Amino acid sequence: MVMPGQRKRKQRRQRRQEFAAGAGRWEVIFETQDADEWRARLARMRAGSEPVDWSSVRVDTLCGRATRPTTYRLSRFVPSVPGEPEA
């Protein structure tokens, strides 16, 4: 018998291992401080003809304060290639 939520926990553990330090790096695809531009870019990516692997994409919202505006960043995980030096 499978316990409720066990599959989700197992998948979450596997994703953490895939994106662990040393397994690769996060490459910034798009960054903006304009919320409308951010939403438009995501909509174009979702509707685009080129498929996006959303499991290897990270969305960061860097919250701003009075002196710094909020920044939206979209990054893609790039696995490291064996024998290639890390940048």
- pLDDT tens column, 30-60: 999 999 999 999 898 889 888 888 888 888 8
pTM to 2 decimal places: 0.64
CA dist 18 and 23 (Å) reads 7
**Token pair listed for 44:** 């174009």
Query: Residue 80's closest CA among 19, 31, 14?
Result: 19
- Is the pLDDT higher at 29 or at 6? 29
Determine phi and psi for 38, rounding to 5 degrees: -60, -50
Q: How confident is the model at residue 2 (pLDDT cuts 50, 70, 90)?
A: low
